[in-house]
């Protein structure tokens, strides 16, 4: 059978449901009513409103944390988490090289140094061993990312870090209701702070928005203060206890997010059902490696590892020609190879905080720093969309297209 990329008939010509518009989102009348309710209240900021405060309580209860703090974006949520640690300029925070740049922005915005640890060749997540190799006397925190909704080995990383006084911040932007190994509790509740995103493409969305969770009341208070210019409104004073920004979530976002939270379990269940079928119907194809456990994973995206004569780039282009959205490598390059880091475009031309001082040495980043991550991006990792609005026919088309492309390249 001739591939569409070579002039054959594509498996599919109709667009797949996508998180970029209503075809792949769960917004409806309840969200519209919630936004109207917020507008009718006349209080659209959280200071005198009620929606955001209610969202924080409901989300903390849902996830199983003592405290939740709302903010304007997933990046802001990460910034709050790092700021809660009160790091010193030049302190080091270990991060993975396969992640959204927001993970790194949070580090740089606190004048700390991102240190990139390599990842597991199957999951793309940090491991305790890769973190251990990057520890120094300046390490203050580790930010494991539960990539694509797949669980990082968070308990192993916490066991390594906690005796050393190193905080663990879980980046759960892609991992609502992900269940790491070692228990039934959700990702975001195993480390010291968990960070979630309400951006357009996430499992639930209010366009943008962020949520952090923690069981530590001191971290929670510092995050609340940091999100509101260091202003302790609960004391009635107009003062500023420390540096902070205005990351206050507004009431309309909070109202919509409250409705979306009620949909979360069904969204994740539907995505897991799509993933189970993909695993069942594609898992036996030689040269393809699919997620092993669909019960723990929440499938923000559906990852496939390619071990064929052709790499992820050609396989992905062939799938796209068949009408199936596919992203080879997820990123164009590891995060440490972005110009912001290779050219140290941070604060003006200073290179701060990657310079010594305040860092313990000059930090530079280059190709070869994390070879496993570079191989994943450049050769083996392919991600497919996974959406709660996929129909049986949508999944059938994905299966048909993957089998067609695999048959061609596996010959």
Contact of 70 with 56, CB cutoff 8 Å = yes
What pTM value is reported for the model?
0.97
Residue 229: active-site member? no
Phi then psi for 324, rounded to 5 degrees? -110, 125
Q: Give me the pLDDT at residue 116, please.
A: 98
pLDDT value of position 1: 85
| Bridge partners for 69 per DSSP | 212
Instruction: Give the pLDDT score at 333.
Output: 98
Q: 202, 229, 375, 404: which is the annotated catalytic residue?
A: 202
Q: What's the CATH number for 29-260?
A: 3.40.640.10
Domain edges within the chain:
29-260
pLDDT at 183: 83
What is residue 281's predicted lDDT score, i.e. its pLDDT? Answer: 98
Task: Give every CB contact of residue 348 below 8 A, 6+ residues apart in sequence.
Answer: none
pLDDT by residue for the chain (411 residues), tens only, comes to: 899 999 999 999 999 999 999 999 999 999 999 999 999 999 999 999 999 999 999 999 999 999 999 999 999 999 999 999 999 999 999 999 999 999 999 999 999 999 999 999 999 999 999 999 999 999 999 999 999 999 999 999 999 999 999 999 999 999 999 999 988 899 999 999 999 999 999 999 999 999 999 999 999 999 999 999 999 999 999 999 999 999 999 999 999 999 999 999 999 999 999 999 999 999 999 999 999 889 999 999 999 999 999 999 999 999 999 999 999 999 999 999 999 999 999 999 999 999 999 999 999 999 999 999 999 999 999 999 999 999 999 999 999 999 999 999 998
Give residues with Cβ within 8 angstroms of 356, minimum separation 6: 90, 362
Report the side by side order of strands in the sheet with 210-214: 67-71, 210-214, 193-197, 167-171, 139-142, 92-95, 113-116
User: Half-sphere exposure of 265 toward its Cβ, with a 13 Å CA cutoff?
Assistant: 4
Any idea how long the chain is?
411
Q: How far is 376 from 272, CA to CA, in rounded Å?
A: 23
pLDDT of amino acid 258: 98
β-partners of residue 116 are: 95
């Amino acid at each position: 059978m001739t591939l569409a990329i070579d002039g054959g008939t594509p498996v599919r010509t109709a667009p797949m449901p996508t998180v970029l518009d209503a075809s792949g989102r769960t917004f409806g009348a309840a969200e519209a009513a919630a936004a109207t309710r917020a507008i009718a209240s006349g209080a659209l900021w959280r200071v005198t409103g009620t929606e955001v405060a209610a969202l924080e309580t409901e989300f903390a209860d849902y996830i199983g944390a003592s405290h939740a703090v709302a903010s304007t974006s997933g990046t802001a949520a990460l910034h709050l988490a790092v700021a809660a640690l009160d790091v010193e300029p030049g302190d080091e925070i270990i991060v993975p090289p396969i992640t959204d740049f927001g993970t790194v922005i949070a580090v740089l915005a606190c004048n700390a140094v991102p240190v990139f640890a390599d990842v597991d060749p199957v999951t793309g997540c940090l491991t305790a061993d890769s973190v251990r190799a990057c520890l120094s006397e300046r390490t203050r925190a580790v930010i494991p990312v539960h990539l694509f909704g797949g669980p990082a080995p968070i308990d192993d990383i916490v066991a390594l870090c906690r005796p050393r006084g190193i905080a663990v911040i879980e980046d759960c932007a892609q991992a609502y209701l992900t269940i790491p190994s070692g228990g039934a509790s959700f990702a975001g509740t195993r480390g010291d702070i968990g960070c979630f995103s309400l951006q357009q493409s996430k499992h639930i969305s209010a366009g943008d928005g962020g949520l952090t969770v923690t069981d530590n009341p001191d971290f929670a208070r510092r995050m609340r203060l940091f999100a509101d210019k260091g202003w302790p409104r609960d004391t009635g004073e107009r003062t500023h206890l420390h540096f902070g920004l205005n990351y206050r979530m507004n009431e309309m976002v909070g109202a919509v997010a409250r409705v979306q939270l009620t949909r979360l379990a069904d969204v994740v269940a539907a995505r897991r059902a799509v993933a189970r079928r993909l695993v069942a119907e594609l898992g036996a194809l030689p040269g393809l490696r699919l997620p092993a456990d669909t019960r723990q994973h929440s499938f923000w995206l559906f990852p496939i590892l390619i071990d064929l004569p052709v790499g992820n780039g050609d396989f992905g282009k062939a799938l796209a020609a068949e009408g199936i959205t596919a992203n080879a490598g997820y990123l164009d390059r590891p995060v440490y190879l972005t110009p912001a880091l290779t050219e140290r475009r941070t604060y003006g031309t200073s290179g701060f905080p990657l310079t010594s001082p305040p860092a313990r040495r000059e930090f530079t980043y280059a190709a070869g720093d994390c070879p496993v991550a570079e191989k994943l991006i450049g050769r083996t990792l392919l991600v497919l969309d996974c959406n709660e609005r996929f129909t049986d026919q949508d999944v059938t088309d994905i299966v048909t297209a993957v089998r067609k492309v695999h048959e061609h390249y596996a010959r």
